[in-house]
Amino acid sequence: MRIAMWSGPRNLSTAMMYAFGARSDCAVVDEPFYAAYLARTGLEHPMRDDILDSQPQDPSVVAEQLLGPVPGARPHFYQKHMCQHMIAEVPREWLRDVTNVFLIRHPARVIASFAAKYDQIGLDDIGFSQQMELIELVRRWGQKPLVIDSYDIRQNPREKLEQLCEAIGLPFSPEMLSWPKGGHKDDGVWAPHWYGAVWNSTGFAGPEGALPEAPARLQPVLEQAMEIYEEMRAIKI
């Protein structure tokens, strides 16, 4: 089984990759289109040159790899994707051949977390509009989009992961509930900048607290993202 997990930044996505990576039957890949995205947009992200050197910059090559042999000949392949990486030049036909899951998080939490690491934030940077576009795409192909909220996972990791595994037709494994401290061997090269908290973890953090206040300059972004988030949340598992 190939599982494409689509999320925006700062969205429990790395912890979810670690959960699937803890399974003995599952290979993982970390944001394989990141270099292609940076190469085509010219964006100056932290560690840009290292990222460009670490991955293929041709998105067609990446898509072929995602449908090619699974690393380690494992029976399952978990693919962590950022929705904002799916710019027009990135092919989409390969999504027909994977199980697509959409990981969502309240925009106020995403914006507050992202703003602590990256100064320039617009709606395109946090992936909500692209996430909805992908949901609509797989719907047109006759797939049922599977949506899961990171808030629910933090509230009860075992229950939500059991529900997710059932929804995608994968037996649940208790291995998914914990992982070794210090990161994963398949972390992207950018991990030292972004993954500090999850590197220090051995499992999912507890329930989230009160919603943070978005900076005044980002209120328009929050309002736009909230409309999309509510639409996605209405179909979550």
* Chain Cα centroid distance, residue 213: 23
In 3D, which of 36, 26, 41, 76 has the Cα closest to residue 60? Answer: 36
Rounded-to-integer distance, Cα 74 and Cα 26, Å = 6
Instruction: Give the HSE-up count for residue 159: Cα atoms under 13 Å, Cβ half-sphere.
Output: 9
Q: Give the pLDDT score at 117.
A: 65
pLDDT band at 165 (very low <50, low <70, confident <90, very high): very high
For residue range 179-202, list pLDDT tens digits in order. 999 999 999 999 999 899 999 999
pLDDT of 122 strictly over 90: no
For residue range 71-96, list pLDDT tens digits in order. 999 999 999 999 999 999 999 999 99
pLDDT of 213 strictly over 90: no
In 3D, which of 104, 87, 93, 89 has the Cα closest to residue 141? Answer: 93
The kind and range of the H/E element at 154 are: helix 150-155
Beta strands in the chain (DSSP E): 2-7, 26-30, 76-82, 99-104, 146-149
Beta-carbon contacts of 93 under 8 Å, excluding residues fewer than 6 positions away, are 63
For residue range 124-152, list pLDDT tens digits in order. 888 899 999 999 999 999 999 999 999 99
pTM above 0.85, yes or no: yes
pLDDT band at 118 (very low <50, low <70, confident <90, very high): low
Point out which residues pair with 2 in neighbouring strands: 77
Mean pLDDT of the 35-50 span = 95
pLDDT band at 58 (very low <50, low <70, confident <90, very high): very high
Q: Give the pLDDT score at 104.
A: 97
Mean pLDDT of the 43-70 span = 97
Domains of the chain: 2-233 (3.40.50.300)
The greatest distance separating any two alpha carbons of the chain, rounded to the nearest whole angstrom, comes to 49
* Chain Cα centroid distance, residue 69: 22
Q: Which residue is listed with tokens 């037996």?
A: 171
pLDDT of 11 strictly over 90: no
Pairing between strand 26-30 and 2-7? unpaired
